[in-house]
Amino acid sequence: MRGCKYGTHRVIEPKGVLPQAAQKISNDMTIFDNEMLIQVQALNIDSASFTQIKETCGGDEEKIKAMIMGIVNERGKMQNPVTGSGGMLIGTIKAIGKDLTDRALKVGDKIASLVSLTLTPLKIEEITAIKMGIDRVEIIGTAVLFESGIYAKLPDDMEETLALAALDVAGAPAQTRKLVKKGQTVLVLGANGKSGLLCCYEAKKQVGEEGQVIGLVRSENKKKFLEETGLCHDVIIADATNPIQTLEEVLNVTNGKEIDVAINCVNVPNTEMSTILPVREEGIVYFFSMATSFTKAALGAEGVGKDVHMIIGNGYSLNHADITLDDLRESKVIRDIFEKLYL
Amino acid sequence: MRGCKYGTHRVIEPKGVLPQAAQKISNDMTIFDNEMLIQVQALNIDSASFTQIKETCGGDEEKIKAMIMGIVNERGKMQNPVTGSGGMLIGTIKAIGKDLTDRALKVGDKIASLVSLTLTPLKIEEITAIKMGIDRVEIIGTAVLFESGIYAKLPDDMEETLALAALDVAGAPAQTRKLVKKGQTVLVLGANGKSGLLCCYEAKKQVGEEGQVIGLVRSENKKKFLEETGLCHDVIIADATNPIQTLEEVLNVTNGKEIDVAINCVNVPNTEMSTILPVREEGIVYFFSMATSFTKAALGAEGVGKDVHMIIGNGYSLNHADITLDDLRESKVIRDIFEKLYL
């Protein structure tokens, strides 16, 4: 039997919503023809959720275990009722519904789910370990992925935590590859962060020899760090919440020419105008930062009379996991940095 | 002498911000070479701002006049310090800086400013009338438009209030014209509203005979109204905060096929998923509603594994005023509706 591709057939209450918005979903582990069954090894709990659970339980491991078991038994999914957030899981494929057998995947493959635990049917038999420092919960249990549920096969040639760190921001480099064209000038705001580094790498590959990739960072230290990576043609220092300063610093390295594409990877609010202002008419403004305000972007562009295409960074993009893991394989410099930070 | 194209040369405090973010800007009416001087006839005060002023003044006309004069004298612009909002102005061109003489505009032309009063240098000599019901303040005064300041020439062939009502949402139909291609299937959510009607009209023109424009409305009454306009091929009733219902109703009129473009003109929150879900892979999701949440859109698309292009509706788009006024001229049905509602 086929279920809804978005998993609504498993929603118990309230009726008519998507699984993410549901209070309770079915974690019956008999799969539909368009679902996959996962033998789960670990849950990577969202940081906001794990902090809330730890605090409520006063850091007591047994209480944390009981609280997580309670949530999952009650809701059929690991969605913290206070923070509303979930996380992701790691496991191996246990069964593939017959409508999904054309996927490049076989029983026994190790995967990470790239959709949130807030919409993933989960059943825990036993919690075997709580790794406090890294928000990780090791379990014996099973989960279901819907037809629309995205995932990534974990590669054999790198550490699991390294792959997970990169997959966490996979949407950004994948979208950068699709948006940036040969010969263009591209600004990456927040270029020294995880997604920023990957975007710089992809942008530099796409613009080719005639193009220019400009990395914006906040301080002299970060400038030195980014210059040493060689991932940008130019590195500038500016406060991304100050649009005039940002514009001036950008025009300094472009001979006064407005740029084609700006990519925002800055994790602080009020950086919309700094992203919009340096871009030419009909250029592209790509917001990957979750701190972006829709109205500030929409009204801000109107206020300065800029006909720019403003794009909401979609966490998913076709083949985004492969693109991002390939970047890690190709760029020794990024891999070295990620290994230092995330292993 | 030339000023900054965004008007930063007029910012008095704090230094280094754009005029909109400034506490105080210079309303010295000697213009720079890349500015225009406007003889102002009326201010259309933003509704939130006007309500706040009226309430503070207990509806007393003289107190309202004094309060507005006070704000403008203090800040050099009509930006309500409580709501932060402004409005727009109507006036005639009094002088054009020598660097802007290539514009299709001459002294004496009547215009509406399409940038906010929150960034427009303004000096009021006298407030001649307060029109309470329509948030309009008639004045004798002058204002300055920066090089980047957008405006629209008010046409001779229609009432001023009619033109203003349409110009208020000019970004939406103009972007629709650019995004929608021949033969496509397009969904307009909130199709019976001001921007929705204009988007339906533009979409129907663009998709041609092979295409399909679907208008989504909230009730049987609104369905009847929209069907009578003939602006859509199909009209469906659904709750735009219910993505599953919306998806089902859309697929009902497309023979189960996902659509190419969805345009959100709904002015209530939580309609992101209803806009995303019916769209095919690599299709376009265009959010014109100011109630859109950036994070709900970004995380929502990821949650259902949809590789869609999500666009932030820019209030400005090249020639957006002309496109919108032309729509009003071409479509008697829209003009009749707007005349009924806004004259």
Cβ contact, residue pair A312, B294, below 8 Å:
yes
pLDDT of residue A90: 95
B184 and B321 assigned to the same domain:
yes
B122 and B248 assigned to the same domain:
no
Picking from B127, B154, B181, the residue at the C-terminal end of a domain is B154
Calpha distance A223→A267 (Å, rounded): 17
Query: Across the 343 residues of chain A, what is the mean pLDDT of every consecutive 10-residue run?
Result: 95 91 96 98 91 94 97 97 91 97 94 94 97 90 96 92 89 95 98 96 97 98 97 98 96 98 93 97 95 91 93 92 96 94 78
Decide if A164 is inside a domain.
no
How far from chain centre, in Å, is Cα B118? 15
A205 and A338 assigned to the same domain:
yes
A35 and A93 assigned to the same domain:
yes
The pLDDT tens digits for B29-84 are 999 999 999 999 999 998 889 989 999 999 999 999 999 999 999 999 999 999 88
Closest CA to B32 of B3, B66, B65, B71: B3
Picking from B101, B128, B154, the residue at the C-terminal end of a domain is B154
Output the pTM of the full model: 0.90
Decide if A1 is inside a domain.
no
B224 and B276 assigned to the same domain:
yes
Decide if A21 is inside a domain.
yes
B145 and B237 assigned to the same domain:
no
B131 and B244 assigned to the same domain:
no
Segment 263-292 of chain A within 8 Å of chain B by CB: 273, 277, 281-282, 287, 290, 292
Decide if B3 is inside a domain.
no
A141 and A226 assigned to the same domain:
no
In this structure, of A140-144, A233-237, B169-173, B187-191, the range with the lowest mean pLDDT score is B169-173
Decide if A3 is inside a domain.
no
Annotate chain A with three-state secondary structure: CCCCCCCHHHEEECCCCCHHHCCEECCCCCCCCCCEEEEEEEEEECHHHHHHHHHHCCCCHHHHHHHHHHHHHHHCCCCCCCCCCCEEEEEEEEEECHHHCCCCCCCCCEEEECCCHHHCCEEEEEEEEEEHHHCEEEEEEEEEECCCCCEEECCCCCCHHHHHHHHCCCHHHHHHHHHCCCCCEEEEECCCCHHHHHHHHHHHHHHCCCCEEEEEECCHHHHHHHHHHCCCCEEEECCCCCHHHHHHHHHHHCCCCCEEEEEECCCCCCCHHHHHCCEEEEEEEEECCCCCCHHHHHHHHHHCCCCCEEEECCCCCCCHHHHHHHHHHHCHHHHHHHHHHHC
Domain carrying residue A62? 8-154
A130 and A180 assigned to the same domain:
no
Which residues lie closer than 8 Å to B47 by C-beta, 6 or more apart?
Answer: B135
Tell me the angle at which helices B332-342 and B160-167 cross, rounded to the nearest 10 degrees.
110
A209 and A283 assigned to the same domain:
yes
Give the number of beta-carbon pairs within 8 Å between A and B: 143
Chain B nearest CA to A230, separation (Å): 30
Cβ contact, residue pair B18, A292, below 8 Å:
no
The pLDDT tens digits for B1-12 are 999 999 999 999
Q: What's the alpha-carbon Rg for chain B, to the nearest Å? A: 22
Counted domains in chain A: 2
Q: ipTM of the predicted structure?
A: 0.89
A179 and A142 assigned to the same domain:
no
A196 and A148 assigned to the same domain:
no
Dump strand ranges (E) for chain B: 11-13, 24-25, 36-45, 87-96, 110-113, 122-131, 136-145, 151-153, 185-189, 212-217, 234-237, 259-264, 279-287, 309-312
Decide if B162 is inside a domain.
no
Among all residues of chain B, which has the CA nearest to that of A309? B311
Residue B268's CATH number: 3.40.50.720
Decide if B202 is inside a domain.
yes
Residue A311 has its nearest CB partner, among B273, B307, B309, at B309
Please determine, for residue B343, whether its predicted confidence score (pLDDT) is greater than 80.
no
Calpha distance A36→A340 (Å, rounded): 34
